[in-house]
Amino acid sequence: MLVIVNEDVITQSEFDYRMATVMDELSNSGQTPPPGLAKQLLDTMVSDRLQVQEAERRGITVSDEEVQATLQRFAAQQDVTVDQMRRQVQDTGQPFDMFVESVRDSMVISRFTDYYARSRVIVPEYEIDGFIAANNLDQDTSEYEIARILIKTGDGAAELAQQVRSEIGTGMNFEQAVSAYSQATDAEDGGVIGWRNAAQLPEVYVSALQDMQVGDVSPVLTTANGYHILKLLDLKGDRTEIIQSKVRHILISAESRVAKSQAAKKLRELRKRIVEGEDFSALARIYSDDSVSAANGGSLDWVSPGEMVPPFEEAFQKLSLGEISFPVETQFGMHIIIVDDRRKKNITEQMIRGRADQILRRQRADREYKQWVNELQEGAYVEFVTEPESLGNT
C-alpha cells in the first residue's frame, strides 16, 4: 500500500504498471525520464483516483460493454484483435486486467470532465457572439435566387398585401400576382431579382429565407418602403436541416404493469372514437394527463429529433400524416400520437452557436477544472503511507 485515498488505496503493483507504461512512452519518443518522475506520477494517480471517486459519487460510470467497445477500437487501430492485444500487453509483463481498468478510469474521467463542462461552466451569450464574429463563423455562404412582389407604403397597402398573399395561397400563380400587383421596377421581369447572398439582402429577407424551401412563398414582410412577398426560386450553399414533426398526443399516466394495461385499453377505445370521427383535440382536453399539452388539444407543437424519449420518438417518426398510433409505452405512461405536419427546419445558425458554445465551454472548463480538482484534493483524506520502491531511482 502506497497511498490511502479516502476509502480507497493505491498499491505498489498499480504504481509499477503506470510507471512501466510511462517509461515505454518515454523510450518510444526518445526522451529521458525527468527528475522526480515517480513523485509526479504518484500525485497524478492520487488526482485520478479522486476524480474517479467523485464521478462514481455523482453516478457517472462506464459499463463493461462500453469498455469492450473501446478495447475493440484500440485493437482495430493497431490492426490486431483484442486477444492479440491482450497477449501483447501480457508479453510486457503487465497484467491485462490493470490495462482494462486504466482504460475504464480514463473513460470515467473523460466523462466526468464533460459533465463538469456541461453542469458547472456557463458561457454568456455575448462571448458566443464575439467568438463567432472573431472567427467569421457567422458568414452565411448561401445564395438565393428570388422573385418578389412589392406593394409600396400607402393607404390600404397592408390590407392589399395580405389579400395578394391569400390569393397566392389559394392557387394564384406567383408570376401572375407579380404582373397584377407588384410596384417594383423588376415587375416586368416577373419580379426576379436574380442571385443574391445574405449580405446583399435586407435582414428581413434573410430571416424569412432561412427556413424556406425552393418553391416556397414567404408571408408578407414589412419594411420602410412597403410590403414584400418573396418566392424562393433556387438555393446554393450548405445548409444544415432537420425534419420537424407537429405532434399531438393523449397521455394516461401509469406506473405498474396492471395500470399500463388498463391505460392501453382506454387509449384503444379513444383511438377508435377518433377514427370514427370524434375530435382528437377535444378528447385530449378531457382525458390527457399531460396538463400542459392537454390545454392545447394535446399539441406538443413542432418537435425536433432527439427532443422526446426514444419510444415516443420512434413511434411518431413511423406515422404518416394524420395517422393515429396504437398505445405507446414510455416512462411517463401510455400515449396515443398523431402527426399533423412535417417540415424541414434550417438549424445552421443553431449548429454554429452550439459549436462555439462547446469550444468556449471546453476552454473555460480546462482552466477551471484543474483548480476544482485541487479543491477536491484539499477536502479529501489522502495519506502517503510509504514511498514507491522506484522513487529513489526516478
In whole angstroms, give the CA distance from residue 149 to residue 220.
9
What mean pLDDT do residues 236-242 have? 70
Does residue 35 or residue 177 have the better pLDDT?
Answer: 177
Phi-psi region of 70 (alpha: psi -120 to 50; beta: other; left: phi over 0): alpha
pLDDT of residue 41: 87
Residue 392 in this model has a pLDDT that exceeds 50: no
Question: Is residue 222 within 8 Å of 204, Cβ to Cβ?
Answer: yes
Question: What average pLDDT score do residues 261-281 get?
Answer: 95
Count CB atoms within 10 A of the CB of residue 346: 17
Asked if the model's pLDDT at residue 128 lies above 90, the reply is no
Q: How confident is the model at residue 136 (pLDDT cuts 50, 70, 90)?
A: low
pLDDT band at 317 (very low <50, low <70, confident <90, very high): very high
Q: Is the pLDDT of residue 315 over 90?
A: yes
The answer to whether residue 76 scores a pLDDT higher than 80 is yes
Nearest Cα to 376, choosing from 11, 156, 58, 9?
58
Domains of the chain by residue range: 3-122+364-393, 143-236, 242-346
**What pLDDT is attached to residue 118?**
72
Residue 52, CB half-sphere, CA atoms under 13 Å: how many?
21
Q: Is 284 exposed, middle or buried (0-12, 13-18, 19+ CB in 10 A)?
A: buried
Helix ranges restricted to H, 121-156: 125-134
pLDDT of 316 over the 90 cut: yes
Confidence of residue 305 (pLDDT cuts 50, 70, 90): confident
What's at 122, amino acid-wise? Answer: I
Superfamily of domain 3-122+364-393: Porin chaperone SurA, peptide-binding domain (1.10.4030.10)
pLDDT band at 353; cut points 50, 70, 90? confident
The reply to whether 143-236 shares the fold of 3-122+364-393 is no
- The C-alpha cell at 185 is 421596377
SS3 136: coil
pLDDT over 60 at 274, yes or no? yes
Rounded distance, CA 329 to CA 155, Å?
A: 57
pLDDT at 279: 95
Q: What is the mean pLDDT of the chain?
A: 86
Asked if the model's pLDDT at residue 358 lies above 80, the reply is: no
Higher pLDDT, 64 or 132: 64
- Give the amino acid at 48: D
Q: Which overall architecture, per CATH, does domain 242-346 show?
A: Roll (3.10)
Look at residue 188 in the predicted model and tell me its pLDDT. 87
Please name the amino acid found at residue 33.
Answer: P
Contact 346, 210 (CB under 8 A): yes
Q: What is the pLDDT of residue 239?
A: 64
pLDDT (0 to 100) of residue 141: 67
pLDDT at 172: 92
Please say if the pLDDT value at position 335 is more than 80. yes
The band of 61, judged by pLDDT with boundaries at 50, 70 and 90, is: confident
pTM value is 0.44
Residue with cell 430571416: 207
SS3 365: helix
Question: Hey, how many other C-beta atoms are within 10 angstroms of the C-beta on 118?
Answer: 11
pLDDT of residue 140: 60
C-alpha cell at 60: 457517472
Among 160-164, 360-364, 383-387, where is mean pLDDT lowest? 360-364
CB distance 83 to 47 below 8 Å: no
Selection from 160, 144, 164, 140 nearest residue 152 by Cα:
160
Mean pLDDT of 116-145: 76
Q: Strands across the sheet with 8-10, in order? A: 8-10, 3-5, 382-384
User: Are β-strands 3-5 and 8-10 bridged in parallel, bridged antiparallel, or unpaired?
Assistant: antiparallel
Number of H helices, E strands in the chain: 14, 11
pLDDT tens-digit profile of 37-48? 888 888 889 889
Cα–Cα distance, 38 to 365 (Å, whole number): 28
Instruction: Read off the pLDDT band of 339 (50, 70, 90).
Output: very high
What is the dotted CATH code of the domain comprising 143-236?
Answer: 3.10.50.40
Give the mean model confidence (pLDDT) for residues 345-372.
75
What span, in angstroms and rounded, lies between the C-alpha atoms of 167 and 177? 8
β-bridge mates for residue 151, sequence order: 227
Distance set, CA 191 to CA 142, 214, 218, 226 (Å): 20, 16, 14, 15
pLDDT at 122 over 50: yes
Give the cell for residue 189. Answer: 421581369
